[in-house]
Structure formats: C-alpha cells, structure tokens
A and B are shown apart, each in its own frame.
Chain A
C-alpha cells in the first residue's frame, strides 16, 4: 500500500503534535472543572462535614449537574452595560488562562509549545489577563463592579512587578527562559526551591494574587462588594469567569512545579519514561492545587491597604535582593568573569 505524496514525516509529526496539544488543553480544562468539586469536598473535610456526595460516585457528577444547570440559566445582559466589552471580558479571562498552559512541559516529550521565551510568554499572559477583570468591572456599569475592577487593576499591577523579578533568579540559574531547559537545569543541579528559596517565598503570594484567590480575592470580596467585577454576570458568562479562576490555579500550580520543584523530574531516577514523568508532574501539581484550597480554608482576607503595603514594602525588596544575590553568586562561580 502506498501513501499519498502529501503524507510525509513532517505532516505526520504536525498531526501528532496538534492532537497532543488539543488533548492536553481539553484535559486541563476538564481537570479545572473538577477542581470545583475537589475544593468543595476538601473544604468540607476540613470543616467536619461531607460536602457534595450525592450525584454519582463520591459526588463526582456534581460538576456535570452544575454545568448543565448554568448552561440553561437565563443569560442576562444588563441594559445599562456596554455590550461589546461586557461580552468579551469572560472570553479574555478564559482564553488567557488556557494560553498560559501552552508553554508548560508535562514531560520531556509531552509539551505543546517549546518557546525560547517561555517564561516571558507567561508574564505577558498574566499582564493581559487583567483586562478581563477591568473590562468586566467597567462594562457592567455598576458601582460594586467598578470598585472591584479598580482594586484588581491596582493589585495586579503591583504584584506583577515583583512576580517577574522573583522569577529572574530561576532564569539566571538555568540560563534560559525556556521551561524545558529550566527543568533540565534542575535535573543537573538541584531543585530551584533549594537555591531560590527567597524567590519561591515571593512567588507564592504573587501567584495567589494572579489567580485572585483568597486571601488576595479583594476584587470580589463578597462582604463589601457583593461579587466584585462579576456582580452583573449570569449564566455561562459567570461560569467562564469561575472556571477560568480554576484554570488559573491549575496553570500556576503547574508553573510552580516546573520552576521550583523540578517539573517532571523524579529524584534519583536517571531516565524516566513519559509515563513516570507525567505521573511525577501531575502528583506535584496536585499537591499545589490542594495547598491553594488549604490556604483559602486557613487564612482570613487582609485589608486592601495591607495587601498593597505588603507587596511594595516587603515582597519587592526581597525579590530585588534575591536577584542581586543570585547574580553575584553566578558571577563569582563563573571562571574568568571577574577580570
């Protein structure tokens, strides 16, 4: 049997890569949706109650039931809203968080985009994700939404600054923005959480702030702002905001794993197959996802000015010191650089 001439090795590779990318992205969104169930069950466990356990085994069907319900709700656009902006905001929220997952390698061969500017791509995505909240808050044309949008903008701008700087230590040690090379560098050296402990300490609050999770959920503080920027949203538009938050959690947990905890690396194993590396990566990511929920369960929400002060007066200096220190040590250890 002869193959048609257009089927070359290149087209087959492209097809395999495309299918792989779609599978990874769809899998990630599904995992994010089920994280809603995970969060409710874990919170319930820690508060000594059951949580959703009726629909399907262990209540796993709850997410499907909720999604069906939210699809059939009335999709209401307020007459006083700016329609175009109001509709585009949830789409930006969802799209940006999914795009961010593109650069994360799940294993040495399991990846979607192998960009040499990988980490910068994440920072760009994090910067653009603010527009979802700003536009949602502004276009709703309501006081609570606008206040939520304003808060979110100030918070994100402040926390983005040192988020970028805190990651530069990792980039310097690995010598690349490429996330696969960062993991390879960790396999040769140690996991960067050891050498970049200060960077990791600053990265954790910044990562929480990016996803607008408790204790950094001031943009949607329900006691003061009803629901903040998505007060006026209903039906699947609200659903997209909600799921995008969980997609963000999965994405940031995966990024934490990749940058500080060796990605797919298994300690003391030289050549992990794709299955073992995927397993190791998922397990680490799962631990961080659960710790997000634990943080929500354990910590109260600070005042707004406290959050801003902590960002500018504590985290920014620490990240700057970490960057200078890392640069100094690398320069000291590089032979011939001191002359």
Chain B
C-alpha cells in the first residue's frame, strides 16, 4: 500500500464520517461545519488521486463560497433552541427506515461495481491546471459554452428577482 493509497482511504473515511454527522446533527450550524469538513476531505481525496486543480476548485467554490453563503443565511435566520428540539424530534428511528432502504438500494450497485474488478485505476499521473484548461477549451468546448450560457441565464434571473420596484 503506497502513501497515496493510505491518504486516499484516510480522507475518504473522514469524508464519509463527517457526511453522516451532517445528517444526524440537530444543530444547523454544526451540521454545516461538518459539511465543510466533508468537502475539504473530498478535496484531499482529489489531491491523493493526482488532481490538484479539481481539489483547489472544490475548496474555492464549495467550501469557500457556497458553504459561506449557507452559513450566512443560517446566521441571519439565527435559529435557536426550538429548532434544535424540532430536529431532534424529527430524527426518530422510525424516520430512518425509508431513507435507509433507498440508500442500501443505491449502495448495492456501487459495491458490485467495486468488487467487479473491471475498473481503470485512477491517479496514475498528476493532471495539472494546464491540461485541464486544454481539455476544457478543446474537446469539451461545447459543454463549457453551454454551461456558461446557463450560468448567465441564472445571473439574469437572480438580478430580476432581486430588483427593487
């Protein structure tokens, strides 16, 4: 087992653990912090797979921008003790059955694929930012342009919704 493998499993374990804690934690801000930890762990997994550019974008975009907005909104609402009690009331064992069955159904194909043995190994070499750029603006140019047009549409719509009459 190489050092990369150890790092991969270590951060993968942290990611899974913190994501479970996001779900079971009744306090909204603590839950969001566990989500940030989970995102950082996923970024580290990307690092161990030899994709530093993807790892940094994960931290900048998700942990550094989107999650900050989430925390911002939760802070503005300033949910108190009553919400924590409400959450605790919702997290009874009987509510776990339905989602638990669905998750197990999703877990089954993933486990089968993993145990199948027919997969290409990841992280054979490091992919730097230059290669990602060449790929995005070469073979995947159409997808990039479509995504940018969709983002522009979202921006215009948000501007319209936020306009003062």
Q: Which residues of A contact B (CB under 8 A)?
A: 82, 84-85, 115-117, 120-121, 123-124, 126-128, 130-131, 134-135, 137-138, 146, 149-150, 153-154, 156-157, 160, 164, 176-177
Contacts and interface: CB of A to CB of B under 8 A. Distances in A.
B129 A157 contact: no
Contacts of A85: 29-30, 33
Contact of B75 (A117, A127, A138, A164): A138
* B52, B64, B69, most chain A CB atoms within 10 A: B64
Interface stretch (B53-61, B85-93, B145-153): B53-61
B128 interface: yes
A143 B29 CA distance: 17
A267 to B, nearest CB: 29
B49 interface: no
B65 A127 contact: yes
7 contacts: A116-B129, A120-B60, A123-B60, A128-B59, A131-B71, A134-B71, A150-B72
Given A85-B30, A127-B60, A153-B68, 6 more contacts: A116-B128, A124-B64, A126-B64, A128-B63, A157-B65, A176-B130
Contacts of A150: 72, 75-76
A82 B71 CA distance: 15
B128 A134 contact: no
Contact of A115 (B52, B63, B64): B52
A177 B129 contact: yes
B4 interface: no
Nearest to A156: B68
B65 A138 contact: no
Nearest to B57: A120
A294 B76 CA distance: 35
A134 B129 contact: no
Interface residues of B, number: 23
A131 B29 contact: no
Interface string B78-119: 100000000000000000000000000000000000000000
B36 interface: yes
Interface string B117-160: 00000000000111000000000000000000000000000000
A135 B68 CA distance: 10
A281 B53 CA distance: 28
B78 A160 contact: no
A117 B60 contact: no
Contact of A134 (B30, B57, B75, B78): B75
B52 A127 contact: no
Given A120-B60, A138-B75, A150-B75, A157 B68 contact: yes
B51 to A, nearest CB: 10
Contacts of A82: 29
Contacts of A121: 56
A149 B75 contact: yes
A131 B53 contact: no
A293 B52 CA distance: 36
B27 to A, nearest CB: 8
B74 to A, nearest CB: 8
* A124, A176, A177, most chain B CB atoms within 10 A: A124
B65 A160 contact: yes
Given A116-B129, A138-B75, A160 B29 contact: no
A217 to B, nearest CB: 19
